[in-house]
Amino acid sequence: MNYVFKPTPPATVAVLETTDRLPVRRIFCVGRNYAAHAREMGTDPDREPPFFFTKPADAVVDSDLTIAYPPQTKNLHYEAELVVVIGTAGRNVMETDSLSHVWGYAIGNDLTRRDLQLQAREQRRPWDMGKAFDKSAIIGPVHQSEKIGHPTEGIISLTVNGEMKQNANITELIWSVSEIISILSHSIKLQPGDLIMTGTPAGVGPLVEGDTCIVSIDGLGQIKTTIGPRF
Ligand code: MN
């Protein structure tokens, strides 16, 4: 193959306790997957099947970095999330078989330009500029499910400058990891390296320049991000 210019190397995320990197193919995100968060966003959690949006693979950022406050927003938000990493391709996956497609789990922070997202929602336009901007997916080291199994309960929490902002349990997910994988695989064929950000609990709010944001999930450690000056 003779490329007309050098292709960009794949985006990658860290793998716990190794120097290996996991190549990212796509990032799928579940909208409103905790009832209390759906309510704080002004929607009814009981009547909605899960819906998905995406971020580009190269939106990923490692933990323990400073990222610039992104452009075009006055309301950057954090969102603590459990991230599922797909290791085995699959389409029309049955719920009972879903977990066999998982390579591992990580902690994520689904950074959101909330003003742009809500403006798009009101105008019935796509969410991309609110959700899919550069460095919008902070993803911690991936814990291999072969070693840790499949987390079904545990506290998911987020602090800003040490102050607790989100505090829930992954048992509160409206749609479980197994259900999400099955439902998504009926729309698209899942591929190795696909990440699924499973949604955020209630308590979303702003980050400003100089803030330090830490997301923790029982069994998966924590990820830390500092917000630098506006880009
Ligand atoms: Mn989210």
Summarised one tens digit per residue, pLDDT across range 8-33 is 999 999 999 999 999 999 999 999 89
- The span from the CA of 23 to the CA of 180, in Å, is 21
Q: In whole angstroms, what separates CA 142 from the centre of its chain?
A: 13
Convert the pLDDT of each residue in 157-172 to its tens digit. Answer: 999 999 999 999 999 9
Confidence of residue 186 (pLDDT cuts 50, 70, 90): very high
Please give the average per-residue pLDDT across 70-94, as a whole number: 98
How sure is the predictor about 209, in pLDDT bands with cuts at 50, 70 and 90? very high
Structure tokens at 145: 């499910």
What's the 2 CA to ligand 1 centre distance in angstroms?
A: 39
- Cα separation, 141 vs 104, whole angstroms: 10
* Single pTM value for the model: 0.97
CA–CA gap between residue 113 and residue 71 (Å, rounded): 9
pLDDT at 1: 87
Number of Cβ within 10 Å of residue 64's Cβ equals 12
d(CA 63, ligand 1 centre) in Å: 17
Give me the pLDDT at residue 120, please.
96
Taking 90 as the threshold, does the pLDDT of residue 121 lie above it?
Answer: yes
CA 144 to ligand 1 center in whole angstroms: 22
Dihedral angle, C-alpha 173, 177, 182, 183, nearest 10 °: 30
Q: Return the bridge partners of 228, or none.
A: 68
Q: Look at residue 155 in the predicted model and tell me its pLDDT.
A: 98
Please give the distance, rounded to the nearest whole angstrom, from the Cα atom of residue 157 to the centre of ligand 1.
Answer: 14
Write the class of the CATH domain 12-230. alpha beta
Q: 186 CA distance to ligand 1 centroid (A)?
A: 21
Query: What is the rounded distance in angstroms from the CA atom of residue 141 to the CA atom of residue 107?
Result: 8
Q: Ligand 1 centroid to 30 CA: how many Å?
A: 6
Distance 6 CA to ligand 1 centre (A): 33
Residue type, 63: S
Question: Stretch 117-129: mean pLDDT, rounded?
Answer: 96
pLDDT for position 216: 98
How far apart are the CA of 5 and the centre of ligand 1, in A?
34
Distance 19 CA to ligand 1 centre (A): 28
**Å from CA of 120 to ligand 1 middle:** 16
**How far is the centre of ligand 1, averaged over its atoms, from the C-alpha of 3 (Å)?**
36
Expressed in angstroms and rounded, the spacing between residue 78 Cα and the centre of ligand 1 is 9
Ranges of each domain in the chain: 12-230
Tell me the C-alpha distance between 175 and 100, whole Å: 18
pLDDT of 32-78, one tens digit each? Answer: 899 888 899 888 887 678 999 999 999 999 999 999 999 999 999 99
pLDDT for 231 beyond 80: no
| pLDDT for position 228 | 98
Tokens of 122: 């009101």
Q: Over 80: is that where the pLDDT of 139 sits?
A: yes
Average pLDDT over residues 147-154: 96
Cα of 9 to ligand 1 centre, how many Å? 26
pLDDT at 138 over 80: yes
pLDDT at position 49 is: 85
* Average confidence score pLDDT of the chain: 96
- Residue 95 Cα, ligand 1 centroid: separation in angstroms? 22
Position 129 scores a pLDDT of: 97
Cα of 54 from ligand 1 centre, angstroms: 10
